[in-house]
């Protein structure tokens, strides 16, 4: 019998304690923000959408190999010796045309593994996180800057230089680059 | 109305015939409190559970097969993140320790300390979520949001450190992806001091609430021997009164340097091993994690966190099993290396998968509302159960 | 009031129809407002902001937008459902909740029907709701809905007993079932309110009535018929669109009905707390509504504080705690009245 009354007393007491806590919170300022109107500043290391600075890309394919979900597609064309593609901002010489540098951002898992191996620090994760699209195709980002004409030009030049190399008595081991 | 003759109903593909007064109720995979896509086939007599068949695999993402097909060991870590996505840091830690043991790498002191801090912060975050959702399963919505509010602060710390809030890819083989930001220790200390009153508040709002106690005490009792026989680990095992914590019993990293207690269930309001005990073990573990954090942040040595990261990971043919104490229990990695740059086999022993297997044994004879409470007290993450 | 209208319009039937719509004029805006209010209270108790965008000032138009959305939704009836009962159930529930308002006095001058068994009538018709809930649960042909309906039936039937008994204690003092009579018995000073009389018997009665009324309207901690985390949504799992909105409306109408009865029976109804000051027919409307809103607030406050009970514990609270205490109160009040002569 004593237990019965103690239970009732405990129930009332703990309910009142709980009500006091929620009542106190009724008047504490909220911790949430009005998101699209107010935005928090993301920390400097925030890992969101990838960005590739093509001016610095040397087409080394290391980011593509580091990617655990294979979302980066890179194709390269060798440049001929008469063309100077310039140097990157860290001073390494560019030797490859990069006609295709696609990132399927829909596949990307934002792990950041592609960022670390890049020798020229041209691929990085930005603070942009609002990039939803209605079509999934729009999430395949083409970073390559070459126009189709330039690609054809580069391919033709390479083919020409290889054919001239092939006519010369050159070492047989030198295969054609597709 | 004429009496219905007792004629058992045989269902094709179903383990046993149903009696007349029994009914199959399908709970999940779309159900508010199965914590993801778990499906429970309940055989009920009114509201009382006669038997239960859990069905898993709705979130199977081939983690183990993916791990074999990666081109190097490092690439497995983002997949480890996605197993127990509530405590990604702890998964990474286990995998990193396994690979380091295989390669024989000694990681710098600074890395060890930062890893312990991260793992303990992660433990608090994971327990906060477990406690909050458990409260919500019982019907208390407000503590859930208080827990999330504080979990957000831990996620903020993680985001400042590694840039991600949930899937960190922070603990690497041999080191860390980033050093901690300059004022990190101060922020963790701030969190520790401001989090203690929250635990008190949570205790008076939820833990000792009479209705909550009534709903959880004496419910889903798991005896210590049953728990051990099923291979339970983590708070589920400790809730049954077994003092078993890998941080103490099989120390890894630098856990042997810290002072902390292992809270166990003592049946304070009910029977030893009931839902309330499993719940209170989590609450007390958060307090112990705060103790570890307070000890660790004062001792972080200087150093380079990336100095021990190997350029190329190519272990000799070997196999080993490494286990760590994640917030949910013993997470074991069994890794077979075949001398190439990618693992030949990665077998994971997920704690929640093993813990979930006790659910039918605990639920028989309970009511439908109790199943929800028991499931919440086990604290499963389907990403880890199904992998 | 009625006589005045009959004189004005000349047709008694028209007056009855008109007066039947008067509570609706209050309930509809109340439900819209209360849903928004509940969301704001929940949000602020949980350190959130709640709806903030729709309508500008603190999202006041959020429920209006929700209702517009619900109206536009397709009216889905599951193939396996019993079509007639399925469509009828929300109306039965709402009618059950709404008919109670016929006998509730909103002011000294206004009450829908001045019947001398008003309180008895309200207790009787409010149990009508459970038929609608059972219809909804059964006709949905969903096991979760059926669970919800069965729980709800057991719950409402059990908790009507303490409600009736506690109200009976007041009826014994007043000697009438007429709510206006009960109101008039509490006029004068604030100490005449029944919650302060025969202390602590009627105070305990008010408490028991309030707890039981929470169960009657399926509010936390007794919200097991629609326990979200167990039964998905209970008896209205299969409902969508306007039918769901009707259930929602009925729930809020019911919340208000039990609150206004509590205000009338225990808190002096339309009587002003300041004696003769600020009293009068219009002030009466203000007082009774604000007192009931106070009760509604406490209902919301409890909802966002407490977990919910299990179904057997609910029965324990009803049969082993509330009912014995109600009997003790009845006995005590009976003797008290007898001794006072």
What is the DSSP secondary-structure string of B26-83?
EE-SS-TTSSSS-EEEEEEETTEEEEEEEE--TT---HHHHHHTSSSSTTHHHHHHTT
What confidence score (pLDDT) does residue A176 get? 45
Q: How far apart are CA A21 and CA B206, in angstroms?
A: 11
Chain A CA closest to residue C302: A19
Helix boundaries (H) for chain C: 2-9, 12-45, 62-72, 83-99, 118-126, 128-139, 143-174, 179-185, 201-216, 228-231, 241-266, 281-303, 311-316, 323-340
Q: Which of residues 201-240 of B touch C (CB under 8 A)?
A: 205-206, 209, 211-212, 214-215
Residue at A126 is within a domain: yes
CB C125 within 8 A of CB C281: no
The residue assigned the tokens 């009707």 is C246
Q: Nearest C-alpha of chain B: how many angstroms from A39?
A: 14
Taking residues A126-153, what's their average pLDDT?
Answer: 84
Q: How far apart are CA C255 and CA C292, in angstroms?
A: 9
Q: Are residues A55 and A132 in the same domain?
A: yes
Q: Are residues A111 and A82 in the same domain?
A: yes
Number of neighbouring beta carbons within 10 Å of residue B195: 19
Nearest residue to B383 via CA among B30, B31, B27, B36: B36
Q: Nearest C-alpha of chain A: how many angstroms from C48?
A: 5
What confidence score (pLDDT) does residue A175 get? 44
**Domain around A142:** 50-150
**Which run of H or E residues covers position B102?**
helix B88-103
Nearest residue to A35 via CA among A127, A133, A130: A130
Q: What is the pLDDT of residues C170-190, one digit of tens each?
A: 888 888 888 888 888 887 777
pLDDT at B291 over 50: yes
Q: Do A18 and B205 touch (CB under 8 A)?
A: yes
Q: Are residues A70 and A108 in the same domain?
A: yes
Nearest residue to C236 via CA among C134, C157, C96, C309: C134
pLDDT at A117 over 60: yes
Q: Are residues A141 and A54 in the same domain?
A: yes
Number of neighbouring beta carbons within 10 Å of residue A93: 10
With left for phi above 0 and alpha for psi between -120 and 50, is residue C335 left, alpha or beta? Answer: alpha
Q: How far apart are CA A100 and CA A72, in angstroms?
A: 10
Number of neighbouring beta carbons within 10 Å of residue B326: 29
* Coil, strand or helix at B367: strand
In this complex, the chains that touch B, judged by 3 or more CB pairs closer than 8 A, are A, C
Q: Are residues A26 and A89 in the same domain?
A: no
Burial of C69 (0-12, 13-18, 19+ CB in 10 A): exposed
Q: How far apart are CA C183 and CA C164, in angstroms?
A: 18
Q: Do C44 and A30 touch (CB under 8 A)?
A: yes
Residue at A169 is within a domain: no
CB B279 within 8 A of CB B203: no
Q: How far apart are CA C202 and CA C209, in angstroms?
A: 10
Our count of domains for chain A comes to 2
Q: How far apart are CA B123 and CA B90, in angstroms?
A: 8
Is residue A169 very low, low, confident or very high in pLDDT (cuts 50, 70, 90)? low
ipTM: 0.85
Q: Are residues A23 and A63 in the same domain?
A: no
User: Which structural domains are found in chain B, ordered by start?
Assistant: 63-353 (1.10.645.10)
Residues of B in contact with A47 (CB under 8 A): 162-164
Residues of B in contact with C300 (CB under 8 A): none
What confidence score (pLDDT) does residue A171 get? 52
Residue B274 forms contact with C (CB below 8 Å): no
Picking from B33, B41, B142 by the largest number of C CB atoms within 10 A of its own CB, the best residue to mutate is B142
Q: How far apart are CA C312 and CA B365, in angstroms?
A: 14
Q: How far apart are CA C48 and CA A28, in angstroms?
A: 10
Residue at A165 is within a domain: no
* Alpha carbon distances (Å) from C98 to C2, C90, C91: 20, 12, 10
Residue C305 forms contact with B (CB below 8 Å): yes
User: Following CA atoms A127, A133, A137, A140 in sequence, which dihedral angle do they give, to the nearest 10 degrees?
Assistant: 0
Residue at A62 is within a domain: yes
Q: How far apart are CA B250 and CA B182, in angstroms?
A: 33
Chain-centre distance for alpha carbon C253: 6
Q: Do C41 and A15 touch (CB under 8 A)?
A: no
What confidence score (pLDDT) does residue A94 get? 76
Q: How far apart are CA C91 and CA C74, in angstroms?
A: 18
Q: Are residues A59 and A127 in the same domain?
A: yes
* Coil, strand or helix at B25: strand
pLDDT at A65 over 80: yes
Q: How far apart are CA C100 and CA A156, in angstroms?
A: 89
In this complex, the chains that touch C, judged by 3 or more CB pairs closer than 8 A, are A, B
Which pair of structure tokens corresponds to residue B119?
Answer: 């793992």
Q: Do C305 and B142 touch (CB under 8 A)?
A: yes
Q: Are residues A55 and A139 in the same domain?
A: yes
Burial of C249 (0-12, 13-18, 19+ CB in 10 A): buried
Q: What is the pLDDT of residues B226-280, one digit of tens each?
A: 999 998 988 999 989 888 888 888 888 888 888 888 998 888 888 888 899 999 9
Q: What is the pLDDT of residues B69-109, one digit of tens each?
A: 888 888 888 888 888 888 889 988 999 998 888 888 888 88
What confidence score (pLDDT) does residue B126 get? 92
Q: How far apart are CA C105 and CA C187, in angstroms?
A: 14
Q: What are phi and psi of B318, to 5 degrees?
A: -165, 160
What confidence score (pLDDT) does residue B283 get? 92
CB B167 within 8 A of CB B201: no
Q: What is the pLDDT of residues B142-161, one digit of tens each?
A: 889 999 989 999 999 998 88
* Alpha carbon distances (Å) from C157 to C119, C212, C224, C318: 17, 11, 14, 10
Q: How far apart are CA A155 and CA A176, in angstroms?
A: 12
Q: Got the DSSP string for chain A?
A: -HHHHHHHHHHHHHHHHHHHHHHHHHTSPPS---TTTS-PPPPTT---SEEE-TTT-----HHHHH-TT--EEEEEEEPPTT----B-TTSPBP-EEEEEEEEETTT-----TTTTT-TT--EEE-S------SSGGGGEEE-----HHHHHHHHHHHHHHHHHHHHS---TT-PPP-
Which pair of structure tokens corresponds to residue B12?
Answer: 């094709």
Asked if omega into C214 is within 30° of 0 (cis), the reply is no
pLDDT at A178 over 50: no
Contact residues for A164 (Cβ-Cβ < 8 A; gap 6+): none
Taking residues A172-177, what's their average pLDDT?
Answer: 46
Residue at A167 is within a domain: no
Number of neighbouring beta carbons within 10 Å of residue A144: 19
Q: How far apart are CA A134 and CA A55, in angstroms?
A: 30
Number of neighbouring beta carbons within 10 Å of residue C210: 19
Q: Are residues A66 and A136 in the same domain?
A: yes
> Which comes out higher in pLDDT, residue A70 or A90?
A70
Q: Do C305 and A25 touch (CB under 8 A)?
A: no
What are residue B52's DSSP bridge partners?
B42
Q: Are residues A18 and A56 in the same domain?
A: no
Residue at A145 is within a domain: yes
Q: How far apart are CA B136 and CA B284, in angstroms?
A: 19
Chain-centre distance for alpha carbon B345: 23
Q: Which of residues 240-299 of C touch A (CB under 8 A)?
A: none
* Alpha carbon distances (Å) from A109 to A103, A114, B3, B59, C195: 12, 11, 62, 17, 63
What confidence score (pLDDT) does residue B1 get? 44
Which pair of structure tokens corresponds to residue A65?
Answer: 């190999």
Taking residues A34-44, what's their average pLDDT?
Answer: 85
Among A83-87, B196-200, B352-356, which stretch is predicted with the lowest mean pLDDT?
A: A83-87
Q: How far apart are CA C145 and CA C158, in angstroms?
A: 20
Q: What is the pLDDT of residues B22-79, one digit of tens each?
A: 888 888 788 887 787 888 888 888 888 888 888 888 888 888 888 888 888 888 888 8
Q: Nearest C-alpha of chain A: how many angstroms from B65?
A: 13
Q: How far apart are CA C177 and CA C264, in angstroms?
A: 12
Rounded (5°) CA angle A43-A46-A47 = 180
Residue C46 forms contact with B (CB below 8 Å): yes
Among partner residues A65, A68, A112, which is closest to B79 by beta-carbon distance? A68
Residue at A159 is within a domain: no
Q: Nearest C-alpha of chain B: how many angstroms from C132?
A: 21
Which pair of structure tokens corresponds to residue C300?
Answer: 């919301």
Q: How far apart are CA B98 and CA B252, in angstroms?
A: 10
Contact residues for A159 (Cβ-Cβ < 8 A; gap 6+): none
Q: Do B139 and C143 touch (CB under 8 A)?
A: no
SS3 letters for B150-206? HHHHHHHHHHHHHCCCCCCCCEECCEECCCCCCCHHHHHHHHHHHHHHHHHHHHHHH
CATH number of the domain encompassing residue A113? 3.30.70.3270
Among partner residues C41, C48, C53, which is closest to A32 by beta-carbon distance? C48
Among partner residues C45, C302, C306, which is closest to A25 by beta-carbon distance? C45
Residues of B in contact with C310 (CB under 8 A): 214-215, 367, 369-370
Q: Which of residues 58-87 of B touch A (CB under 8 A)?
A: 70-71, 74-79, 81-82
Residues of A in contact with C52 (CB under 8 A): 34
What confidence score (pLDDT) does residue A177 get? 46
Q: Are residues A19 and A71 in the same domain?
A: no
Q: Are residues A78 and A143 in the same domain?
A: yes
pTM: 0.88
Picking from C147, C307, C308, C311 by the largest number of B CB atoms within 10 A of its own CB, the best residue to mutate is C307
Taking residues A32-44, what's their average pLDDT?
Answer: 86
Kindly give the parts of chain C with pLDDT less than 50: none
Q: Do A111 and B161 touch (CB under 8 A)?
A: no
């Amino acid at each position: 019998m004593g237990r019965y009354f103690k239970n009732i007393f405990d129930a009332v007491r703990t309910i009142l304690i709980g009500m006091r806590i929620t009542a106190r919170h009724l008047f504490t300022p909220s911790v949430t923000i009005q998101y699209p109107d107010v935005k928090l500043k993301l920390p400097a290391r925030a890992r969101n959408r990838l960005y590739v600075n093509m001016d610095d890309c040397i087409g080394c394919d290391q980011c593509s190999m580091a990617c655990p979900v294979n979302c980066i597609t890179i194709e390269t064309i060798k440049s001929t010796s008469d063309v100077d593609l310039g140097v990157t901002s860290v001073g390494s010489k560019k030797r490859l045309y990069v006609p295709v540098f696609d990132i399927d951002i829909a596949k990307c898992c934002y792990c950041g593994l592609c960022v670390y191996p890049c020798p020229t620090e041209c691929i990085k994760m930005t603070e942009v996180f609002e990039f939803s699209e209605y079509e999934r195709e729009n999430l395949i980002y083409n970073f390559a800057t070459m126009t189709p004409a330039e690609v054809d030009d580069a391919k033709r030049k390479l083919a020409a230089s290889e054919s001239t190399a092939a006519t010369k008595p050159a070492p047989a081991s030198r295969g054609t680059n597709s | 109305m004429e009496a219905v003759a007792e004629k058992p109903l045989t269902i094709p593909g179903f383990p046993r015939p149903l009696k007349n007064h029994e009914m199959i109720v399908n709970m999940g995979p779309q159900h508010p409190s199965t914590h993801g896509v778990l499906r429970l086939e309940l055989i009920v007599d009114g509201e009382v559970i006669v038997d239960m068949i859990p069905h898993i695999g709705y979130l199977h993402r081939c983690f183990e097969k993916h791990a074999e097909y990666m081109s190097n060991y490092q690439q497995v870590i983002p997949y480890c993140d996605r197993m127990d996505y509530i405590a990604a840091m702890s998964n990474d830690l286990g995998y990193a320790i396994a690979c380091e043991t295989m390669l024989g790498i000694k990681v710098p002191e600074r890395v060890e300390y930062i890893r312990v801090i991260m793992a303990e912060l992660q433990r608090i975050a994971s327990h906060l979520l477990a406690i909050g959702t458990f409260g919500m399963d019982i019907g208390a919505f407000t503590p859930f949001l208080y827990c999330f509010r504080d979990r957000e602060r831990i996620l903020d710390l993680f985001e400042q450190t590694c840039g991600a809030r949930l899937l960190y890819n922070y603990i690497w083989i041999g080191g860390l992806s980033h050093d901690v930001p300059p004022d990190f220790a101060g922020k963790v200390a701030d969190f520790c001091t401001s989090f203690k009153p929250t635990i008190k508040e949570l205790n008076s709002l939820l833990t000792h609430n009479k209705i909550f106690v009534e709903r959880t005490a004496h419910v889903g009792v798991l005896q210590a021997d049953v728990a051990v026989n099923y291979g339970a680990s983590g708070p589920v095992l400790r809730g049954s009164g077994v003092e078993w914590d890998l941080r103490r019993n099989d120390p890894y990293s630098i856990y042997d340097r810290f002072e902390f207690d292992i809270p166990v269930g003592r049946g304070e309001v009910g029977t030893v091993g009931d839902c309330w005990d499993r719940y209170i073990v989590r609450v007390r573990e958060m307090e112990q994690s705060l103790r570890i954090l307070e000890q660790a942040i004062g001792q972080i040595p200087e150093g380079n966190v990336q100095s021990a990261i190997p350029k190329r990971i190519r272990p000799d043919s070997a196999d080993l099993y490494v286990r760590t104490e994640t917030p949910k229990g013993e997470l074991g990695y069994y890794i077979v290396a075949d001398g190439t740059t990618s693992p030949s086999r990665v077998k994971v022993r997920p704690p929640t998968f093993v813990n979930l297997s006790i659910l039918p044994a605990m639920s028989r004879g309970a009511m439908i509302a109790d199943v929800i409470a028991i499931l919440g007290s086990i604290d499963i993450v389907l990403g880890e159960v199904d992998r | 009031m009625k006589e005045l209208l009959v004189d004005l319009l000349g047709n008694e039937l028209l007056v009855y129809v008109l007066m039947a719509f008067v509570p609706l004029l209050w309930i509809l805006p109340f439900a819209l407002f209360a849903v928004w209010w509940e969301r704001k209270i929940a949000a602020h108790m949980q350190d959130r902001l709640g709806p903030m965008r729709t309508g500008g000032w603190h999202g006041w138009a959020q429920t209006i937008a929700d209702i517009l959305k619900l109206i536009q939704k397709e009216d889905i009836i599951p193939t396996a459902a019993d079509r007639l009962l399925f469509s009828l159930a929300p109306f039965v529930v709402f009618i059950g909740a709404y008919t109670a308002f016929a006998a509730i006095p909103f002011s000294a001058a206004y009450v829908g029907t001045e019947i001398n068994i008003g309180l008895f009538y309200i207790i009787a018709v409010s149990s009508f709701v459970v038929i609608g809930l059972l219809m909804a649960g059964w006709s949905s042909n969903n096991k979760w809905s059926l669970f919800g309906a069965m729980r709800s039936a057991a719950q409402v039937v059990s908790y009507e007993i303490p409600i009736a008994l506690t109200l009976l204690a007041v009826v014994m003092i007043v000697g009438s079932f007429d709510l206006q009579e009960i109101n008039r018995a509490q006029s004068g000073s604030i100490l005449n309110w029944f919650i302060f009389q025969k202390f602590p018997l009627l105070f305990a009665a008010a408490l028991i009535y309030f707890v039981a009324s929470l169960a009657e309207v399926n509010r936390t901690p007794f919200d097991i018929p629609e326990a979200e985390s167990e039964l998905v949504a209970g008896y209205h799992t299969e409902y969508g669109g306007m039918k769901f909105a009707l259930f929602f409306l009925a729930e809020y109408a019911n919340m208000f009905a039990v609150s206004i009865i509590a205000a009338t029976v225990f808190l002096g109804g339309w009587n002003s707390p300041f004696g003769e000051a600020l009293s009068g027919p219009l002030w009466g409307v203000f007082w009774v509504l604000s007192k009931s809103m106070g009760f509604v607030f406490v209902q919301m406050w409890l909802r966002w504080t407490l977990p919910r009970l299990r179904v057997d514990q609910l029965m324990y609270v009803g049969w082993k705690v509330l009912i014995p205490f109600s009997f003790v109160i009845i006995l005590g009040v009976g003797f008290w009245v007898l001794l006072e002569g």
